[in-house]
């Protein structure tokens, strides 16, 4: 089996996820702009949340499997973007705890995350530190054997309703990435407040304010002043799966457009017989497939334990190309459907609103290009140190 083809077990997994999404999740009422707890609990009951961490129904979720996460997100996105987003936000918020938390912290939060009883949030971005995550200003002041957190976070998943947040705070001033520590912070901690943010695609995203929120040494995720590594390892896992989310939406738009091109008649002939339409469908399909291959390559690199630089670059390429391509595919789908695709409630009207955000969150496309470019230059300099010195 090549890294780009699915095994029989993986294909069976995809079919199972698609089936339960279409049946068991379909009856859960839709919720806009807030956490849909009944949906999360149902996803937990069905074992879908365990798939965030590579586990099956009866397995420990200790080891993450990037390929399974990508298959899960792509499949859900083709059926229910609400379920996909709920799953993704849950995974992003809880993975730092699973990855770097002490056993007592993992045991406190992760079982509830897997069942959907505990809602998790990822608190990295700040009003003045979005793409430049090393510029965090939320400060952690020493207080006996712990710290007090002061400051603000924004664009935070599942805020302000989450039961636990993975929070990144500055423990050493003026140290950039080397002075950030990750903490597990309970959602009902004294001094923590927040509000929802109303978005174009209404997801559970909000703002948090920390007014002397106390955390202890037990709450530290990883090592003190090494929280940036915790954040980057989380993003390296989830960035390819953002691409998978985009692929799922793009595939749904493509499928709908191919079907429409055979049903719609223009000048007495099916729409697809127009060469411009046929060529556009070909371009859409090629971009979807290329995106899927990049996503699978990035997931395979992560799961194979490739060098961190390779994992980071592959993840950036997958997220960049897949999200940009999905924007193109959905836009072309809307164009070919015409005004009907703009009607509230139409699949493409929904996808058009949903597809825009992934080009921004977890590192905007411009950030991904910077990561890729720097990686290429660094690799060249490492391979040709003498030539680099001569040209400098």
**pLDDT tens profile 255-291:** 999 999 988 878 788 878 889 999 999 999 999 999 9
What CATH code is carried by the domain that includes residue 156?
A: 2.40.110.10
Residues 298 and 364 in one domain: yes
What CATH code is carried by the domain that includes residue 360?
A: 1.20.140.10
Give the model's pLDDT for residue 108. 97
Give the model's pLDDT for residue 55. 55
Residue 389 pLDDT grade (very low, low, confident, very high; cuts 50, 70, 90): low
Residue 62 pLDDT grade (very low, low, confident, very high; cuts 50, 70, 90): very low
Q: Which of 226, 242, 271 finishes a domain? A: 226
The structure tokens listed for 369 are 């290009």
Question: Does residue 49 register a pLDDT over 50?
Answer: yes
Give the model's pLDDT for residue 60. 37
Lowest mean pLDDT among 57-66, 77-86, 137-146: 57-66
DSSP string, 68-132: HHHHHHHHHHTT-HHHHHHHHHHHHHHHHHHHH--HHHHHHHHHHHHHTSS-EEEE--BTTBSS-
Judge contact between 325 and 251, C-beta under 8 A: no
| 83: in domain | yes
Residues 114 and 136 in one domain: no
Judge contact between 342 and 349, C-beta under 8 A: yes
Question: Does residue 54 register a pLDDT over 70?
Answer: no
| 175: in domain | yes
Question: Does residue 1 register a pLDDT over 60?
Answer: no
Catalytic amino acids? 362
CA distance 15 to 8: 11
Q: 140 CB contacts (<8 Å, ≥6 apart)?
A: 147, 148, 149, 169, 170, 171, 181, 183, 215
The whole-number average pLDDT for the span 179-204 is 94
Question: Does residue 335 register a pLDDT over 70?
Answer: yes
Give the model's pLDDT for residue 42. 96
pLDDT tens per residue across span 112-128: 999 999 999 999 999 98
Q: Which of 56, 89, 119 finishes a domain? A: 119
Helix, strand or coil, per DSSP, at residue 214: strand
pLDDT tens per residue across span 371-387: 999 999 999 998 888 76
State phi, psi for 328 to the nearest 5 degrees.
-65, -45
Q: Which of 57, 85, 119 finishes a domain? A: 119
The structure tokens listed for 190 are 């004294």
Residues 137 and 168 in one domain: yes
The residue ranking higher by pLDDT, 271 or 25, is 25
Residues 113 and 125 in one domain: no
CA distance 296 to 251: 15
| 249: in domain | yes
How many domains, the chain? 3
The structure tokens listed for 116 are 């959907």
Residue 201 pLDDT grade (very low, low, confident, very high; cuts 50, 70, 90): confident
Residues 137 and 82 in one domain: no
Give the model's pLDDT for residue 2. 42
Distances in whole angstroms, Cα of residue 379 to Cα of each of 119, 372, 376, 384: 40, 11, 5, 9
Owning domain of residue 282: 228-391
Question: Does residue 41 register a pLDDT over 90?
Answer: yes
Helix, strand or coil, per DSSP, at residue 171: coil
Residues 243 and 115 in one domain: no
| 133: in domain | yes
**Tokens 């979005």, residue located:** 130
Residue 102 pLDDT grade (very low, low, confident, very high; cuts 50, 70, 90): very high
pLDDT tens per residue across span 126-177: 998 876 777 899 999 999 999 999 999 999 999 999 999 999 999 999 888 8
Q: At what angle do helices 103-115 and 37-45 cross, to 10 degrees?
A: 100
**Tokens 């139409």, residue located:** 346
Residues 235 and 348 in one domain: yes
| 1: in domain | no
What CATH code is carried by the domain that includes residue 114?
A: 1.10.540.10
Residues 247 and 377 in one domain: yes
Residues 285 and 355 in one domain: yes
| 30: in domain | yes
The whole-number average pLDDT for the span 302-313 is 92
Give the model's pLDDT for residue 320. 97
CA distance 104 to 219: 9
The structure tokens listed for 33 are 């702009």
Q: 8 CB contacts (<8 Å, ≥6 apart)?
A: none
Residue 99 pLDDT grade (very low, low, confident, very high; cuts 50, 70, 90): very high
| 199: in domain | yes
Lowest mean pLDDT among 157-166, 197-206, 249-258: 197-206
Residues 101 and 130 in one domain: no
The whole-number average pLDDT for the span 37-66 is 74
């Amino acid at each position: 089996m090549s890294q780009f083809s699915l095994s029989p077990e993986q294909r069976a997994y995809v079919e199972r996820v698609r089936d339960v999404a279409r049946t068991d999740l379909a009856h859960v009422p839709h919720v806009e702009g807030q956490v849909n707890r009944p949906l999360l609990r149902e996803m937990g009951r069905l074992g879908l949340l365990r798939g965030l961490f590579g586990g099956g129904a009866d397995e420990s979720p200790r080891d993450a499997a990037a390929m399974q996460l990508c298959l899960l997100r792509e499949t859900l996105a083709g059926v229910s973007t609400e379920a996909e987003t709920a799953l993704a936000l849950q995974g992003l918020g809880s993975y730092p705890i699973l990855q770097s938390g002490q056993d007592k912290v993992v045991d406190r939060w992760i079982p509830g995350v897997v069942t959907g009883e505990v809602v998790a949030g990822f608190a990295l971005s700040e009003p003045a530190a979005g793409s430049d995550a090393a510029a965090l200003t939320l400060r952690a002041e020493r207080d006996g054997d712990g710290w007090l957190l002061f400051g603000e976070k924004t664009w935070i998943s599942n805020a302000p309703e989450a039961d636990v947040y993975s929070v990144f705070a500055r423990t050493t001033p003026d140290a950039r990435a080397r002075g950030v520590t990750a903490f597990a912070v309970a959602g009902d901690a004294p001094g923590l407040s927040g509000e929802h943010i109303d978005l174009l695609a209404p997801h559970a995203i909000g703002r948090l304010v920390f007014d002397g929120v106390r955390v202890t040494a037990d709450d530290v995720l990883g090592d003190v002043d090494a929280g940036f590594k915790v954040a980057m390892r989380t993003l390296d896992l989830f960035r390819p799966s953002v691409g998978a989310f985009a692929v799922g939406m793009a595939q749904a738009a493509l499928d709908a457009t191919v079907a429409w091109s055979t049903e719609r008649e223009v000048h007495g002939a099916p729409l697809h017989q127009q060469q411009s339409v046929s060529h556009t469908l070909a371009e859409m399909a090629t971009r979807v497939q290329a995106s899927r291959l990049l996503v699978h390559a990035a997931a395979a690199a992560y799961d194979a334990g490739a060098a961190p630089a390779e994992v980071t670059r592959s993840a950036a390429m997958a997220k960049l190309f897949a999200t940009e391509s999905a924007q193109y595919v959905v836009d072309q789908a809307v164009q070919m459907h015409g005004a009907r695709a703009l009607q509230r409630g139409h699949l493409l009207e929904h996808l058009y609103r949903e597809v825009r955000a992934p080009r921004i969150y977890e590192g905007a496309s411009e950030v991904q290009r910077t990561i890729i470019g720097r990686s290429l230059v660094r690799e060249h300099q490492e391979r040709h140190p003498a030539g680099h010195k001569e040209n400098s």
